[in-house]
Structure formats: structure tokens, C-alpha cells
A and B are shown apart, each in its own frame.
Chain A
Amino acid sequence: MTPNAAPELRGGALHAALAAGAPVPGVPVSDVDPFSVEFFEDPHRIHHELREAGPVVWLSSWNVWALARYAEVHAVLNDWGTFCSSRGVGMSDFAREKPWRPQSLILEQDPPKHTRARNVLGRVLSPAVMKTLRERFAAAAERKADELLALGTFDAITDLAEAFPLAVFPDAMGLPKEGREHLLPYAALAFNAFGPDNELRRKAMAEAGPHVAYVTDQCARERLAAGGFGAAIHAAVDAGEITAEEAPLLVRSLLTAGIDTTVNGLGAAIYCLARFPEEYAKLRANPALARNAFEEAVRFESPVQTFFRTTTRRVEIGGVEIGEGEKVLMFLGAANRDPRRWEEPERYDIELKTSGHVGFGSGIHMCVGQLLARLEGEVMLAALARKVGSVEIAGPTRRRYNNTLRGLESLPVTIRPA
């Protein structure tokens, strides 16, 4: 290999790169498609290849830059001036394409607009608010654990990872009872929509109509019960912090990002605890580890796998110069297992100091719902730890395919009382 040649990652990669016109000579090129079924089935091997190829890799499958190392992902997340969100955090560049739905007022904005919305949602989901929810959520988790023990064998995705957030989150939002079955399909759609125009995205778009209609309706002030997050957002209109037109869009952000994410977080935690019985034994011995066991599952599985940024100017990353208006893909899941940052990244360790992982992002856009996600994860795992003696996988698992979210479609388990 000449010193200047790009490392070849897979058969034909270099060739494909030349055909696609890799923009900078000497930059590692990969032709892997991170939005393909092959990738979803085993991302870790390819994450490893991408990390080792260099700090920046050109993905010739979609003509975007990609970052798989912790240091670069973390740096980009913390430089919103250079790597903006207002041109979309998916593959689509809003400067060139019309967004598929009205642009988010928080996720897809930069300061100062972002700051205003963020202040409102930050308060709606603050640590003080979490304190008021804890008891109710913990009681719901106890009930769920009892129900599951009565079943013995069940699907940990539908009956637990989906059922528990669905039992607490819509009520906490203040949503009416009817129509909640649209929440998960809507979220799956929104997270597929961050990906490229592939089969997954097109299929989701084709079926979007009723789900979009439902969510749009629930964002109105009169749909949302007093005391919930939705009402609290609308109250910010009265305080003059946001306009009456903005409030429904902020409600929409929570309806989009507030449920499928925690479903996949909780699913990841159960899948980890079932695969690593010695970690479950530690949790049983000390249920106070529940919160960290959940957090570590978010690091280990990274239920939100990827987000994009768009460059606002020419910039150098890891010695590579990138032009203005380029899409940069951040592999959160790869950063969360980068051996440059983590001592034993491939081990699920419920006592790991997880602080600094990027499963919830980092910087100004870091997940505004992280405290709610942790609360749900903690109380559910703590209830299991107290009541359930063992968790075993009881049948074949099946993966769920989504352009952004990582999780299972089916996880049959058998649990036994403590």
C-alpha cells in the first residue's frame, strides 16, 4: 500500500470509493451500509473496523463522513457552531430538501432558538419534577413485576420493555386513553426518517398517515390533561416563554422521543441481564445498582445508534479537511465501545463508571428526557431485582430493524420468583 492509499475495509471498497469520488485522497473509505439489515444484525464488527480505519471515514454507500471513535464523536457533539443541527440530524439536508414534517423546535435547531425551547423542556423534565413521579412509577413497576411473575414465560419486548413505558409515560404526558396504539408506530417512523431514503424509510412513510394524524391531534392544548408534561409545556405560553404555535411542536418532541427510546433502553437492559447472569446476581444482591445497570445497558447497546450533523464551515477533524455543508454521521454505539475510552468496552458491567458515555448524546442537545428514561429504567429493574430470582432466555430472539433505533422485536424469557 502506498503511504497515501486509503485502507481498504472490505472487498471492493477502494474501487467503490473511486467511483463515488471520495472527496479527499488518503482518507479511509468504507462501502458498508450502516442502514442495512446486515449491519443491524451485527454492528459491532463493522463498528470496530470503522474505528480502526481512522478518526474519520468516508462512507461511499451514502457519500457522508462518519465518526466511530469516542474522542471525535464527543468533540463534534460539543461543537454546535461548526456541526449544526438546524439542517437536520438525519441524512436529509434541510438546506436542500424539505423536511418530511415541520422541523423540530429543539432537536433540529441551533442556539439561540434551541436555547429557548430547551429551557422549557428542561424545566418540564427537571430533577424536581422527577421526584414527584418517582413513587407512582415505582408502584407501577412493582405491579408490572408481579404480573410478569404470574406469567412466568413471556416476551420481554412486548410484555415488559413496551408495556412498562406504555403504562407510565402516556399518563405522565396527560394523553387521552384512546389512540395510544399509534405512539410506537409514530416513533418508529420518526426514527426511520433520520436514515437514508431506503426501503425501511419508504415503507414507514407509506404507512405514516394515521400515526401522524393521531400525534398531531394530541399536541393541542385541550387534549392534554392538567398536571402532565403536555400541559406544562402549554403553560409556558402563558408565561410568555414560547408562542401558542410553538407549544404543540414541543409536545410533539416528547411524543416522538419519549417512548420508543425507553422501550429500547429497557429492552437492552433485560437482554443484557438475561445474557449476563452474574451481573443479574449482583443486581439481586444489591438492587441499588438498578439505576447503573440501566445506564450501562444504554452504553452497551446504545438504543439510539446514530445522529448526523451538518458542517457550517470548512473544518478539520482528525487531520482531514471537510468542506462546508457536509453531512457527518456519528456512531454513538461505536463511541460507547471505543477501547481508547473504555477499559473493557465489550463487557456489560453494572458497576462500571458510565459517566461520559454518549448513549444520550452530549453537549447542548444531550437528551432532555434522560432523567425520565433513567427513572423508568431504575424502578423497573429494581422491582425485578427484588422479586425475580432468575431471568433466562426461553426461545429464539428476533431483531427489530430501524434506521436509528437498536433493539429486539422479540425476546422470549422465563423468570422465576426470588
Chain B
Amino acid sequence: MPSVIYIHPNGSRQTLDVPAGQSVMQAAVSRGIEEILGECGGNAMCATCHVYVEPDQLDRLPPMGDDEDALLDGAAADRLPNSRLSCQIKVTGELDGLVVRLPDRQV
């Protein structure tokens, strides 16, 4: 199973084995990672699943859609060049070892 590494705002790292096909948001919410809310259930409508992808891994991800781009402007924590919505990142074997940093707030 591919693994995804979540880095909490205090710097601690948590690794989850994620069934392929789940999103980085779904995996976090179902395993109790508090920093991701996912209020819209992954429909790209709420921006409460904001994460910072490790910059050197950005090109491993599919490009962001217009919805995602617009929503990120309203994310609670600062938008950075490596900001993404974790509900839009579907985990696959190719993404094994993906590292995402969690922001300190989502609303």
C-alpha cells in the first residue's frame, strides 16, 4: 500500500498506509489527523483540506483545476506556491512516499 507522510505543525511526522484510490484528505480524516477537516467531503468546495506539498514533490502531482486554484485563495492559512487541496490528490502507487505539511488552521 502506498504511504503518505503528514508533518504536523509542531514538526512531528506521521506516516499512513493509504489504500490506492483514497484521497490524501480522506485518509487523514478517517485516521484522525485533526488538522484536516474536509468539510465538503472532497467536493472541492470548502478549502478546509489545505496542505503544503513538499516543494520538490510538486511535479509528482496532477495539475490543479480552476476550482482548486480559486478555493485556495480563500484558505485560512497563507496560500504558498506549494499549497494544494488534499481532497484533490488521489493516492496511487506512483505517489508512494508523498510528504505533505499540515497548516495550523483550516477555518
Residues of A whose CB lies within 8 Å of any CB of B are 122-123, 126-131, 291, 295, 353-358, 360, 362-363, 366, 368, 370-371, 374, 378
Contacts and interface: CB of A to CB of B under 8 A. Distances in A.
Nearest to B33: A353
Interface of B: 25-26, 29-30, 32, 37-43, 45-47, 67, 70-71, 73-76, 107
Contacts of A126: 70-71, 73-74
Contact of A366 (B26, B37, B40, B71): B40
A258 B85 CA distance: 26
A100 B39 CA distance: 34
Nearest to A353: B29
Nearest to A378: B107
Contacts of A356: 29, 38, 41-42
Contacts of B29: 353, 355-356
10 contacts: A122-B45, A123-B70, A127-B74, A128-B74, A130-B74, A356-B38, A370-B39, A370-B40, A370-B46, A371-B45
A295 B39 contact: yes
Contacts of B45: 122, 366, 368, 370-371
Contacts of B76: 127, 131
B52 to A, nearest CB: 17
A362 B43 contact: yes
Nearest to B48: A127
Given A127-B47, A291-B107, A355 B73 contact: no
B43 A127 contact: no
A373 to B, nearest CB: 11
A116 B107 CA distance: 27
Given A123-B70, A130-B74, A295-B39, A353 B46 contact: no
A374 B39 contact: yes
B41 A127 contact: no
Contacts of A355: 25-26, 29, 37-39, 41-42
Nearest to A358: B41
A358 B42 CA distance: 12
B85 to A, nearest CB: 11
Contacts of A363: 43
Contacts of A368: 45
B83 to A, nearest CB: 13
